């Protein structure tokens, strides 16, 4: 990463237009960083109310020992509500956080141009609109930039610095340096639908909703799989209830429409029905789960205790799940090695004859070479507390019990779902990695910025490019090819970037 030229940072007045939750959060960030801050809202009295709310937050920071009383008093003295846009004339940076409406934003900035100086940096906090389009109505679009903060802005470190088609390099560098000077972690991003985070994160929600729509598993079990096996902090159902189903669905729909209805970004009908029903999540009292007084999310389906086998046979390599051999031996279960250790289609043979295999993107029932039970991916099998199984239709109850007992002996809870291609974590991670590689190849952002954005913006347990290195492009390509065979709509077609990486990987091998 190139060095930050802090001499180019904004040092004077920062103006924030729009005083909702996000606007207040951005204003607080600038204020604590030492800037004079002017607040403006088109609704009379809202700016003064927002200033009072920010002052109260500063009081709480003092109570928590995160701000001295002297610094609080100085910050309050720098905070000024404005009654008219003309009062923002001395601003060096104006950030808007108004309604996500292109016409509204364009009108605001064309009016601002009448008052602010030529050197003033203009920024939008939009999460779904084109930065280029917002700037299109300006006389001087070169000074216009996207500064996408994440909510709550005072707490979350990530800021996507989005360069529109007409943005000058100097303006982008100044915005980046300013966000860094505020203690944030900025990432550079081209103006593309969803930027980095909202583009690359779409499969995290979409694949879970697709598994639910196919009735392979219920929301609580899918959430548990992605938390306890995948290592994600929250599952997609609970997370969208927190975000707001209306907000999350609107972003998904916006990205899909911006990509001209590309099937890779197709929204979920089940989520759309929630939104149409007014079930928006926590803020409405119900979404995928109930959130009323005393309500608790349903527990995931968890298998009852089963007897562990005394011995298993491992044939070939288990690929990303190779560590399971060590875990099985550490649990006191005898492991017999068979076949070529380099065979990438490895499997675990149970005493009853059933075969366990890491999901390869297809359904367990499609493999006619034996009775298969697929298990899902974990990004850290040692740390995982849950394993998900998907038995083939031919698997007998005693076969499933043996598989359950094996993983329970490793200290894992086990959930059994219907036989769906790619299961839950496999298809989700494969799609996220493919989206990330495609974004890098298309110049949306560099690999380091993509990984940083996904770790900090949505709290992923690692970066997608890091996962690509650990899992292997060849394995990921095979997963997506199998999914594409099962669902020949184009949704799972591997990107050219992933195919090139897989080809290069095979040459090395």
Q: What is the set of active-site residues? A: 127, 148, 160, 198
Angstrom distance (rounded) from CA 473 to CA 487: 21
Angle at 160 (CA atoms; ends 97, 261), nearest 5 degrees: 85
Kindly state the helix (H) or strand (E) to which residue 324 belongs, with its residue range.
helix 324-330
Residue 154 tokens read as: 């005072």
CB 24 within 8 A of CB 149: no
CB 39 within 8 A of CB 50: yes
Sign of torsion, CA 482 486 488 489? Answer: negative
β-pairing, 372-375 with 93-96?
Answer: unpaired
- Name the one residue in this structure whose structure tokens are 């939750």: 21
CB 339 within 8 A of CB 316: yes
Can you say whether residue 135 is alpha, beta or left, with left for phi > 0 and alpha for psi between -120 and 50 degrees? alpha
Best CA proximity match to 31, nearest among 56, 58, 50, 53 = 58
Start-to-end CA distance of the chain, whole Å, equals 30
Angstrom distance (rounded) from CA 329 to CA 350: 14
């Amino acid at each position: 990463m190139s060095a930050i030229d802090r001499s180019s940072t904004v040092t004077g007045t920062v103006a924030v237009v729009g005083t909702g939750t996000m606007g207040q959060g951005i204003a607080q960030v600038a204020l604590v960083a030492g800037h004079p801050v002017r607040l403006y809202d088109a609704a009379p009295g809202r700016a003064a109310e927002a200033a009072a709310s920010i002052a109260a937050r500063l009081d709480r920071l003092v109570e928590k020992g995160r701000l001295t009383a002297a610094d609080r008093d100085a910050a309050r003295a720098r905070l000024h509500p404005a009654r008219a846009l003309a009062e923002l004339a001395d601003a060096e940076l104006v950030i808007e956080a108004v309604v996500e409406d292109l016409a509204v934003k364009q009108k605001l900035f064309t009016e601002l141009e009448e008052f602010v100086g030529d050197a003033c940096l203009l920024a939008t906090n939009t999460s779904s609109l084109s930065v280029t389009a917002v700037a299109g109505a300006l006389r001087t679009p070169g000074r216009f930039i996207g500064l996408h903060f994440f909510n709550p802005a005072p707490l979350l470190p990530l800021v996507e610095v989005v360069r529109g088609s007409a943005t000058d390099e100097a303006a982008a560098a100044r915005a980046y340096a300013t966000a860094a000077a505020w203690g944030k972690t900025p990432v550079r991003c081209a103006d593309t639908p969803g930027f980095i985070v909202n583009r690359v994160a779409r499969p995290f929600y979409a694949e879970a909703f697709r598994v639910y729509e196919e009735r392979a598993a219920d929301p609580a079990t899918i959430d548990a799989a992605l938390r306890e096996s995948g290592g994600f902090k929250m599952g997609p159902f609970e997370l969208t209830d927190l975000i707001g189903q209306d907000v999350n669905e609107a972003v998904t729909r916006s990205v899909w429409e911006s990509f001209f209805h590309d099937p890779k970004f197709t929204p979920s009908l089940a989520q759309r029905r929630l939104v149409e029903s007014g079930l928006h999540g926590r803020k409405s009292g119900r979404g995928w789960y109930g959130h009323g007084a005393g309500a608790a999310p349903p527990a995931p389906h968890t298998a009852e205790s089963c007897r562990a086998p005394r011995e298993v046979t491992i044939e070939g390599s288990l690929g990303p799940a190779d560590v399971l051999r060590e875990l099985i031996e550490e649990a006191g279960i005898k492991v017999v090695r068979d076949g070529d250790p380099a065979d990438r289609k490895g499997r675990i043979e149970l005493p009853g004859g059933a075969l366990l295999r890491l999901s390869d993107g297809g359904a367990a029932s499609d493999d006619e070479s034996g009775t298969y039970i697929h298990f899902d991916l974990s990004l850290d099998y040692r740390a995982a507390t849950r394993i998900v199984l998907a038995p083939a239709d031919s698997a007998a109850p005693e076969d499933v019990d043996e598989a359950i007992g094996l993983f329970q002996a490793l200290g894992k809870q086990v959930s059994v779902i219907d036989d769906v291609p790619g299961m839950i974590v496999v298809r989700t991670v494969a799609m996220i990695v493919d989206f990330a590689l495609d974004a890098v190849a298309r110049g949306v952002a560099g690999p380091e910025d993509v990984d940083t954005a996904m770790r900090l913006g949505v709290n992923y347990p690692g970066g997608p490019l890091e996962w690509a290195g650990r899992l292997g492009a060849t394995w990921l390509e095979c997963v997506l090819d199998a999914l594409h065979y099962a669902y020949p709509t184009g949704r799972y077609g591997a990107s050219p970037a992933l195919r090139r990486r897989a080809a290069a990987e095979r040459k090395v091998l």
